[in-house]
Amino acid sequence: MSDLEKFLERKKNPVLELLFLEELERIKQKRVVRPPVKPELKVLPRKILPPVITPFRSPLQDKILEPGQQDTVYVYEILKGNIGYIQFIGNNSFDNAYLIWTIDGKNVLKLNVTWDIGAINAPKPITPWLPVEDEVRFLGVNNSSQRVHFHVLCDGFYTDIGNVERLLGMGLPLGEF
Has residue 10 been placed in a domain?
Answer: no
The residues facing 85 across adjacent strands are 131, 157
Instruction: Give pLDDT, residue 81.
Output: 95
Mean pLDDT of 53-81: 95
- Tell which residue, 168, 169, 99, has the closest CA to residue 140: 99
Mean pLDDT of 155-165: 93
Instruction: Give pLDDT, residue 154.
Output: 95
With beta carbons less than 8 A apart as the criterion, state whether 120 and 73 touch. no
Has residue 153 been placed in a domain?
Answer: yes
Has residue 50 been placed in a domain?
Answer: no
Q: What is the CATH number of the domain that holds 110?
A: 2.60.120
Phi, psi dihedral angles at 77 (to 5 degrees): -100, 135
Residues 6+ away with beta carbon under 8 Å from 59: 76, 88, 153, 154, 155, 156
- Tell which residue, 158, 134, 143, has the closest CA to residue 75: 134
Has residue 4 been placed in a domain?
Answer: no
Per-residue pLDDT tens for 89-138? 999 988 899 999 999 988 776 665 456 678 888 999 999 999 999 999 99
Strand order in the sheet with 106-111: 70-77, 135-142, 97-103, 106-111
Has residue 34 been placed in a domain?
Answer: no
* Number of separate domains in the chain: 1
Has residue 9 been placed in a domain?
Answer: no
Whether residue 70 is predicted with pLDDT greater than 70 in this model: the reply is: yes
Whether residue 175 is predicted with pLDDT greater than 60 in this model: the reply is: yes
Instruction: Give pLDDT, residue 129.
Output: 93
With beta carbons less than 8 A apart as the criterion, state whether 145 and 66 touch. no
Mean pLDDT of 159-164: 92
Q: Which one has a higher pLDDT value, 59 or 34?
A: 59
Say if strands 70-77 and 60-65 run parallel, antiparallel, or are unpaired.
unpaired
Q: Which domain holds residue 85?
A: 56-169
The residues facing 61 across adjacent strands are 152
Has residue 62 been placed in a domain?
Answer: yes
Has residue 86 been placed in a domain?
Answer: yes
Mean pLDDT of 76-96: 93
Instruction: Give pLDDT, residue 117.
Output: 78
Q: Is the peptide bond before 128 cis (omega within 30 degrees of 0)?
A: yes
Rounded Cα gap, residues 106 and 163, in angstroms: 24
Whether residue 5 is predicted with pLDDT greater than 70 in this model: the reply is: no
